[in-house]
Structure 1
Amino acid sequence: MQLYDRGYAAIDLDAIESNMKAMRDHLSPGAGIMGVVKADGYGHGAVWAARVMDSYVQGYAVSTVDEALILRRHGIKKNILVLGVVGESRYNEVLDNEIRIAMFQYDKAKLFSHYGAARKKTGYIHLAVDTGMSRIGMRPDLESAETAKKIWELPFVETEGIFTHFSRADETDKNCSQQQLLKFTSFVNMLENLGVHIPIKHCSNSAGIIDLKQAHMDLVRAGISIYGLYPSDQVDREAVPLKPVMSWKSYVVYVKTIEPGTPVSYGGAFVAKAPTRVATIPIGYADGYSRSLSGKGQVLICGQRAPVLGRVCMDQMMVDVTHIPEAREGSTVTLLGRDGEEEITAEEMAESGGGFHYEILCSVGKRMPRVYYKKGKAIDCKDYFSE
């Protein structure tokens, strides 16, 4: 997209659909999918991601009320669950837009009930249970079960679901996850014995979808797997074949040859030992290309790898194209994705820079427009340049 002359993130909508089909085909009978589109769809664009997966999911999950409202404003009508804690100031918006929220404290549930009564609207909640993350949620014990019953009995509050979250399902050893599952199911049984019947139970994240079919229950929460990344290298990749959705492109803006002894970038961390052909790329850490990749990362130009020279700057970086004589101003640069036979994956970038592969996708910033492709053709784009 030469319209975006600094760079852009290319989003393959067909890959999202392929990933959704692969997960659907792997699910246990009776299990549905909740599509997690928090953090703007892990950096891909939540609205387009939600549109593409709409026929595959029972609803969506986000992290904040604002993320839910964005989906509503763009015509997403299916159920949306906010997985994080929602404060009182947002209760009216939640009720008016039929947004589901996580709940685990009676005083807040009672307050939510009062807001519902005032507006004569039922609020929908999913009880959060802490089985091992130590993040949010009620403990899976009798005291909490009694609290859950009090919440379940509140007027203008419908306890639609109950969930927990695996902390180590992406590891080869599933003992911890099995213990979490046992705690969760035992708590659900405890509630049933108290007469509390909650229709939707869910605990599987992407790793659980792939490796823990016994934990699929009524719903699974597909997150990073939607976008074509595996949670770790310890899950069974053959069980659910995934395709990367995002690639990241830029262009060479300047090429020069420097002499031996010439430093490159801040601090002179790289000094040329021989005549070196250097290409400047208009991407830096302000765009999401981590500074930790200084002197470690690689990009693809003309189907070949070009190592990053010296420190990544805020808005630019330099790479070695001595061995790529065809590289010139205007040549396409692939920071993430495939060019010919070569590919740079999010996992490789994370390993090189000492980060986490989820971060790579989420960190591609607003200065990088998202261009959406279907059947190889650009069908839409999103940028923030008119703000």
Structure 2
Amino acid sequence: MKSNSRVYAAIHLDAVEENFKQMKQNLKPGVKMIAVVKTDGYGHGAVPIAKLAEPYEYIWGFAVATAQEAFTLREEGIKKPILILGYTFEEDYKEMVKQQIRPAVFQYETARKLAKAAGELKKSIKIHIALDTGMTRIGYSDTMESIAQIRKIAALKEIEIEGIFTHFARADEADKTSALNQFERYENFVRKLEQSGLSIPMKHCSNSAGIVELPQMNLDAVRAGITIYGIYPSMEVKRDLVKLRPVMELKSCIVYIKTVDKGTPVSYGGTFVTPRKMRIATIPVGYGDGYPRSLSNKGWVLIHGKKAPILGRICMDQFMVDISEIPEAKELDEVVLIGEGLSVETLGELSGRFPYEFVCDIGKRVPRILEGK
């Protein structure tokens, strides 16, 4: 345990490095990788992850969700291309042009406004066309009307269409029918675009699950997201194909111990009442740190490698665990909240939350400590 640390997240950069290598081995020769670092690198820290990955020759660049995330990477010295996967607002267009940020475009009017902003700066801007093949989210539908609009965008002199992408809705399922259907729709649409006289140089479809299980969909580039951080996209994804190492450990310490009699209520609402005399430890972490309240009376932590069940409701800043069977436990001993023997996937199942959600929600008051490099 770090001295004077109420709670901290250890970010193992050597694990990040290994995860990139493992994914690279599963790609066809020449395929580039786009490292997705949105939501502050899925809660792990976008800047250190991007700085580690940028020197790799096979890393094309980075993908984020918002213009502000892109600007932060530029401010921190990231030089490689940055693609914004989500919606962008007109107020950011000129800065995006200046910083050479690539927006996703799925409406002609967006492209027209981007072209206007670029023209006023006497510059051009590269964009990626978003195609909806099954998410029913942002993106052009795969219709002839969309082809006409995209050709109209290509005619704007300040616009360079660098890429076209889609996103799989169900690639993390054992049954790949949905992903295969989406890929077929994508390829058919791109073929029709090319037949109309418009060829777009960079094509990318595969997300993390696609990288692991669908190498035939590599195309020019793939988008690596949750797998960078050592978390598999779902329990249905085959883990023997790409060996990932978890990047984050979350640790705290015991700050108080008391022994209470049978019949003592614990925490708000008294949802847990001691069935016998029990030794109880207080941990100075709560839902204010992103540790989910839904683990109340369900989850457990590790102390000296042993399970300590959570008792009662998790509070905003503290929760209690049973250490009756861990007699060696004492104040300031380390408590593992996420780590070896207690995975994010396990906690997700216990709390009813998605592993992506779990790590993304770990709050800003939890310091990230970089280790392993």
TM-score (norm 2): 0.98
Alpha-carbon displacement from aligned partner over 1:279-314 (angstroms, at most 9, x marks no partner): 000000010110000000000011111000000000
Q: Could you say what secondary structure the match of 1:55 adopts?
A: coil
Q: What is the deviation of 1:128?
A: 0.2
Contact 1:125–1:160 (CA under 8 A) maintained in structure 2: yes
Please say if 1:126 is aligned against 2:124: no
The aligned runs of 1:145-164 (5 Å cut-off) are: 145-164=147-166
Written as runs of structure 1 = structure 2, the 5 A alignment for 1:85-100 is 85-100=87-102
- What is residue 25 of structure 2 aligned with on the other side? 25
TM-score (normalised: structure 1): 0.95
Correspondence for 1:249: 251
Report if the CA contact (8 A) 1:4-1:369 is conserved: no
Q: Partner residue of 2:233?
A: 231
Name 2:291's counterpart in structure 1.
289
Equivalent positions of 1:1-387 (< 5 A) are 2-56=2-56, 57-338=59-340, 343-374=341-372
> How far apart are the structure 1 equivalents of 2:348 and 2:356?
9
Instruction: Percent identity, please.
Output: 52
Question: Any idea what the Cα deviations from partners look like across 1:55-87, whole Å, max 9, x if unmatched?
Answer: 331100000000001110111000000000101
Matches of 2:304 and 2:348 in 1, distance apart? 23
SS state at 2:281 partner: strand
Shift of 1:51: 1.2
Secondary structure of the equivalent of 1:126? strand
Conserved? CA contact 1:80–1:100, under 8 Å: yes
Cα deviations by residue, 1:137-178 (Å, 9 ceiling, x for unpaired): 001111101111111111111100000000000011111111
Please report how far the alpha carbon of residue 236 of structure 1 lies from its aligned counterpart in structure 2 after TM superposition.
1.6
Give me the whole-angstrom Cα distance separating, in 2, the residues matched to 1:4 and 1:171: 43
Look up the equivalent residue of 2:48 and give its one-letter code: W
Question: Structure 1 residue 29: deviation in Å?
Answer: 2.2
Q: How far 1:235 moved relative to its partner?
A: 1.3
Give 3-state SS (helix, strand or coil) of 2:44's partner.
coil
Which secondary structure state, in structure 2, belongs to the residue aligned with residue 111 of structure 1?
A: helix
Q: Please, what is the CA RMSD of the aligned residues?
A: 0.9
Shift of 1:3: 4.2
Post-superposition shift, 1:4? 4.3
Tell me, what secondary structure is at the counterpart of 2:54? helix
Q: Separation in 1 of the partners of 2:199 and 2:159?
A: 14
CA distance in 2, matches of 1:240, 1:145: 37
Q: SS of the counterpart of 2:92? A: helix
Q: Is the 8 A contact 1:6 1:283 kept in 2?
A: yes
Q: Which runs of 5+ in 2 are unaligned?
A: none
Deviation of the 1:359 alpha carbon: 1.1
Moved over 4 A (4+): none
User: What is the number of residues matched between the two proteins?
Assistant: 371
Q: Deviations over 1:72-118 (max 9, x none)?
A: 01110000000001011110110010000000111111111111111
Unaligned runs of 5+ in 1: 376-387
